[in-house]
Amino acid sequence: MSDETGRPPKPPARPDSVSLWRYLRLFRADILSAQPARLYRAWMAEFRTPFFRSYMVNDPALVDLVLKGRPDDFPKSDRIGAGLRPLLGESVFLTNGETWKRQRRIIDPAFEGGRLKDTFPAMWAAGEAAVERLAARATGRPVEIEAETSHAAADVIFRTLFSIPIENEIAAEVFDRFRTHQREQPILNLAAFVPGPRWMPRFFSRRAKATARDIRRLIVRLTDERAAEIAAGTAPDDLATKIMTTADPVTGERFTPSEMVDQVAIFFLAGHETSASALGWALWLVARYPEWQERAAAEAATLEPSFATLARLRVTRDIWREALRLYPPVPMMVRETTRAETFRGRAAPEGAQVVLSPWHLHRHTRLWDAPDDFDPGRWQTENGRRCQREAYMPFSAGPRVCTGAGFAMAEGVLLLAMILRAYRLEVVPERTPRPVAHLTVRSADGIWLRLTPR
Ligand code: HEM
């Protein structure tokens, strides 16, 4: 897919007009290739169907309006929640209004700059463990790297949140059940974009509900144990303790045990799937463009086990940013209008879906220089800097921005550097990855690389 052009793989677009039913079929297969090429140059696109209307907005000013200008007028749609609620309950990812605001007031302090620094040793330990695990795979034979990056990202979450490594019995089980759950939940994207009949998400998720119950039961064990440790004064100083002991500055309330279970579930889901996906793509990209790999490896030679080391990894950070641009783990986000709106002179009714698409915005042909090229150097150019402000949102933006954005920037750059310090990566030419969007942007048949020790 990439190699005739020298560019990284991009899914083929569908023809400009197809029937609704064909669209729905394409959609089920993959939302990325279900879209027409014109979305890469459009400021807005309206989809009218008998069941719903949706507006994809790519105009930076409109994106700004929805995410930053009047975010309260564009809440998350309930329908996305329907598919996720069995697992995530009333987690911050799904709630709106006052409940959501209160949850953010309790969660956000745990992820602020100062606290982030405190998570560094746990991230470093997870990086060392990942490098060690890869040693057995660094034989020059093809390795499916997404399985490895998932493992590493899950390890980062358990270590930073609960001070336990992935080898811990409960951690390993949660990780395993999450994988099963994801296989049972293929309908998520469809449910989000095609509001259609309200029964649809429920219809598809009976088995997913069972795995969700299992996962939550395991998380309850972790949070109960932690509550007891907090009460006894023996709790480790990690993200879970921080969140469970923080009182809302406005109401003075803390999370109830069941609310904490909801939040832990979203930290695992939002925190490990996304980082794993981005790290998989970043590793493939440096393997495909070895001149960047060598520059990053040279930089990684300066690594030290302290938070300050991250600021020096400039090339690696630009590579990580570029991977998040080309393969944003969350390719699209959906909001709903709560009143009639006018978008670029067109009337949008109340209850319409507003689709924000990092995937399209990041490759917009009217905004970016060489949008489909892999060029980490762009971040140091004027176009790159302007686009970073106006047309780059791998973590969304505004008050509902990803709580883990700073965390993920630190984690991604660190793991990339630690892996490139230890190994040389090469692509497997007959196994070029093919991007498809499931819960996150993944490769249809995994991401295959050859690793050898440096
Ligand atoms: C490369 C890694 C990551 C990417 C690309 C990413 C991306 C995103 C995006 C785009 C959203 C907004 C979704 C929407 O509004 O529909 C989001 C929300 C969220 N993310 Fe992340 N994320 C990453 C890592 C993390 C990590 C490591 C954590 C936590 C440890 C995390 C926790 C959350 C939470 C709790 C929300 C919900 C925020 C809210 O709705 O108020 N994410 N993330």
Question: Which amino acid belongs to residue 10?
Answer: K
- Quick one: pLDDT at residue 14? 65
- Average pLDDT on 411-438 reads 95
8 CA → ligand 1 middle, Å: 25
Yes or no: say if 334 and 80 are a contact pair by the CB < 8 Å rule. Answer: yes
Beta carbon of 408 within 6 Å of any ligand 1 atom: yes
Output the residue whose Cα is nearest ligand 1's atom 19: 402
Which distant-in-sequence residues (6+ apart) come within 8 Å of 249 by Cβ? 105
Range list of β-strands (E), 186-313 = none
What confidence score (pLDDT) does residue 38 get? 87
Output the pLDDT for position 47.
82
CA distances for 217 relative to 108, 212, 258, angstroms: 25, 9, 11
How does strand 44-48 pair with strand 53-57? antiparallel
User: Which of 129-138, 149-158, 183-192 is predicted least confidently?
Assistant: 183-192
Tokens 């970043």 label which residue?
282
Residues 21-57 have pLDDT tens digits of: 666 666 555 667 667 788 899 999 988 777 778 899 9
- Ligand 1 centre to CA of 91 (Å) is 12
pLDDT of residue 11: 82
- Residue 187 pLDDT more than 50? no
- pLDDT tops 50 at residue 196: no
Of 176-185, 279-288, 378-387, 429-438, minimum mean pLDDT range:
176-185
Question: How many A from CA of 50 to the centre of ligand 1?
Answer: 32
Res 21: pLDDT: 66
Output the CA 408–ligand 1 centroid distance in Å: 9
Tell me the best of 238, 274, 279 to mutate to test the pocket of ligand 1, counting ligand atoms within 8 Å of each CB and taking the most. 274
DSSP-derived letter for residue 364 is -
Per-residue pLDDT band for 228 (boundaries 50, 70, 90) equals: very high
CA of 20 to the centre of ligand 1 (A): 31
Q: How does strand 441-443 pair with strand 435-437?
A: antiparallel
Q: How many CB atoms lie within 10 A of CB 317?
A: 22
Ligand 1 closest atom vs CA 266: 35
At residue 3, the pLDDT reads: 52
What share of residues in the chain are helix, strand, coil (percent, to 5)? 55, 10, 35
Percentage of residues in the chain with pLDDT exceeding 70? 88
Please tell me the distance between residue 329's alpha carbon and the centre of ligand 1 in angstroms.
10
Q: Point out which residues pair with 333 in neighbouring strands.
A: 356
Note the pLDDT of residue 415.
98
Q: Which pLDDT value is given to residue 33?
A: 66
The verdict on the CB of residue 158 being under 6 Å from ligand 1 is: no
Residue type (1 letter), 218: L
pLDDT for residue 184: 67
Tell me, using a 6 A CB cutoff, whether residue 359 lines ligand 1: no
Looking at residue 200, its amino acid is M
User: What gap in Å lies between CA 90 and CA 100, rounded to an integer?
Assistant: 9
Virtual torsion, Cα 123, 279, 91, 439, nearest 10 deg: -160
pLDDT value, residue 74: 97
54 φ, ψ (degrees, to nearest 5): -140, 150
Whether the predicted pLDDT of 200 surpasses 70: no
pLDDT in tens, 271-280: 888 999 999 9
286-298: average pLDDT: 98
Q: Which atom of ligand 1 is nearest to the CA of 263?
A: 35
Q: Tell me the two tokens of residue 425.
A: 């990566």
Q: How confident is the model at residue 182 (pLDDT cuts 50, 70, 90)?
A: confident
Nearest ligand 1 atom, CA 440: 5
Q: Is the CB of 384 under 6 A from ligand 1?
A: no
- DSSP annotation string for 369-391: SSTTS--GGGGGSHHHHHHHHHS
Residue 9 is predicted with a pLDDT of 92
Instruction: Order across the sheet with 448-453: list the strands.
Output: 142-144, 448-453, 423-427
Answer whether residue 195 shows pLDDT above 60: no
What's the pTM value of the predicted model, to 2 decimals? 0.94
What is the model's pLDDT at position 210?
83
Query: Does residue 84 have a pLDDT over 80?
Result: no
Residue with more model confidence, 266 or 67: 67
- Residues in contact with 74: Cβ distance below 8 Å, sequence separation at least 6, in sequence order: 66, 67, 335, 336, 337, 338, 354
Specify the residue for token string 């953010």: 104
CA of 353 to the centre of ligand 1 (A): 20
User: Does the beta carbon of 92 sit less than 6 angstroms from any atom of ligand 1?
Assistant: yes
Strands (E), 62-211: 142-144
Averaged pLDDT of the chain: 89
